[in-house]
Structure 1
Amino acid sequence: MSDKQKRDQLTNSSGAPVGDNQNSITAGSRGPTLIQDVHLLEKLAHFNRERIPERVVHAKGAGAHGFFEVTNDVTPYTKAKFLNEVGKRIPVFTRFSTVAGERGSADTVRDPRGFAVKCYTEDGNYDLVGKNTPVFFLRDAIKFPDFIHTQKRNPATNMKDPNAVWDFFSLSPESLHQVTILHSDRGIPATYRHMHGLGSHTFKWTNTESSSVWVKYHFKSEQGIKNLDEETGNRIAGENPDYKTGDLYKAIEKRDYPAWTVYVQIMPLEDANTYRFDPFDVTKVWSQKDYLLIEVGRMVTDQNLKNYFAEVEQAAFSPGRFVPGIEASPDKMLQGRLFVYSDAHRYRLGANHEAMPVNRPRTQVSNYQRDGFMRFDDNGGGKPNYEPNSYGGPVEDPNSKPAPFEVSGYADSVRYDESDHYTQAGDLYRLLDSDEKSRLVKNIVESMKPVEKEEIKLRQIEHFYKADTEYGQRVADGLGLKVPEYEL
Structure 2
Amino acid sequence: MVDGSPNVTTTNAGIPVGSDEHSLTVGRDGPVVLHDAYLIEKMAHFNRERVPERVVHAKGSGAYGTFRVTNDVSEFTCADLFQPGRETRMLARFSTVAGEMGSPDTWRDPRGFALKFYTRQGNYDMVGNNTPVFFIRDPQKFQDFIRSQKRHPQTGLRNNTMQWDFWSLSPESAHQVTWLMGDRGVPKDWRHMDGFSSHTYQWINAEGERVWVKYRFVTDQGNDFLTQEEADRLAGQDADRHRRDLFEAIERGEYPSWTLQVQIMPLEDAATYRFNPFDLTKVWPFGDYPPIEVGRMTLNENPSNHFIHIEQAAFEPSNLVPGIGPSPDKMLLGRLFSYPDTHRYRIGVNYNELPPNRPESPVRSYSKDGRMRFFEPDTAAVYHPNSYGGPDAARQEGEEQASWRVEAAELVREAYSRHDEDDDFVQPRALIRDVMDEAARERLVSNVSGHVSEVTDDDVLGRALKYWRDIDPEIGERVAAKLNGG
Coarse TM-score class (shorter-chain normalised): over 0.9
CA contact (8 A) 2:117 2:124 kept: yes
Identity over the aligned pairs, expressed in percent? 50
**Counterpart selection for 2:424 from 421, 424, 442:** 421
Q: Which amino acid aligns with 1:426?
A: R
RMSD: 1.6
Query: Does 403-412 or 312-321 show the bigger shift?
Result: 403-412
- 1:265-414 correspondence to structure 2 within 5 Å: 265-378=263-376, 380=377, 383-399=380-396, 402-408=401-407, 409-414=409-414
Deviation at 1:112? 0.4
Give the equivalent residue in structure 2 for 1:20: 19
Q: CA deviation at 1:19?
A: 1.3
For 1:9 and 1:293, the matched residues in 2 are separated by 46
Secondary structure in 2 aligned to 1:252? helix
Give 1:220-259 correspondences, 5 Å limit.
Answer: 220-259=218-257
Question: Paired residue for 2:454?
Answer: 450
Deviation string for 1:103-126 (max 9, x for gaps)? Answer: 111001100000011000000000
Q: Is the 8 A contact 2:204 2:400 kept in 1?
A: no
Q: Deviations over 1:356-415 (max 9, x none)?
A: 01100001100111011110122x276111111222110014145523321123211111
Map Cα deviations across residues 129-157 of structure 1 (whole Å, 9 max, x no partner): 01100000011111111111111111111
Q: Following TM superposition, by how much is the alpha carbon of 1:6 offset from its aligned partner in structure 2, in angstroms?
A: 6.8
Query: Which deviates the most, 419-428 or 237-246?
Result: 419-428
What corresponds to 1:191 in structure 2? Answer: 189
Aligned mates of 2:151, 2:470 — CA distance in 1: 30
In structure 2, distance between residues paired with 1:83 and 1:288: 22
SS at match of 2:467: helix
The answer on whether the counterparts of 1:64 and 1:303 sit within 8 Å (CA) in structure 2 is: yes
Letter of the 2:243 partner, please give it: T
The one-letter code sitting in structure 1 at the alignment partner of 2:415 is: R
Task: Specify the code of the residue in structure 1 equivalent to 2:248.
Answer: K
Q: Which runs of 5+ in 2 are unaligned?
A: none
Match of 1:79 in 2: 78
The structural deviation recorded for 1:15 is 1.3
Task: Give the alignment partner of residue 474 of structure 1, picking from 451, 466, 478.
Answer: 478
| Match among 110, 113, 116 for residue 112 of structure 1 | 110
Instruction: Give 1:481 deviation, angstroms.
Output: 10
- 1:286-307 deviation per Cα after TM superposition (whole angstroms, max 9, x unaligned): 0011001001000000011100
Counterpart contact for 1:31–1:331, Cα < 8 Å:
no
CA separation in 2, counterparts of 1:75 and 1:403?
A: 16
**One-letter identity of the residue aligned with 1:425:** P
CA contact (8 A) 1:188 1:228 kept: yes
> For the Cα contact (< 8 Å) 1:422–1:463, is it kept in 2?
no
Matches within 5 A, 1:17-56: 17-56=16-55
SS of 1:193's equivalent? helix
Contact 1:106 1:242 in 2 (8 A): yes
Question: 1:136 touches 1:178 (CA, 8 Å); kept in 2?
Answer: yes
Query: Structure 2: how far apart are the matches of 1:261 and 1:434?
Result: 29
Query: Corresponding residue for 1:93?
Result: 91
Partner in structure 2 of residue 11 of structure 1: 10
The alpha-carbon distance between structure 1 residues 354 and 401, as it changes in their structure 2 partners (threshold 3 A), is farther
* In structure 2, distance between residues paired with 1:132 and 1:28: 32
SS of alignment partner, residue 329 of structure 1: coil
- 2: distance between equivalents of 1:434 and 1:140? 34
* Partner AA of 2:465 in structure 1: I
3-state SS of paired residue (1:267): strand
| Aligned 8 A contact 2:58 2:101 in 1 | yes
Q: Which residue of 1 aligns with 2:203?
A: 205
Q: Give the deviation of 1:479 after TM superposition.
A: 2.5
In structure 2, what residue type is equivalent to 1:89?
A: E
TM-score, normalized by length of structure 2? 0.96
| TM-superposed deviation, 1:24 | 0.5
Which letter maps to 1:475? V
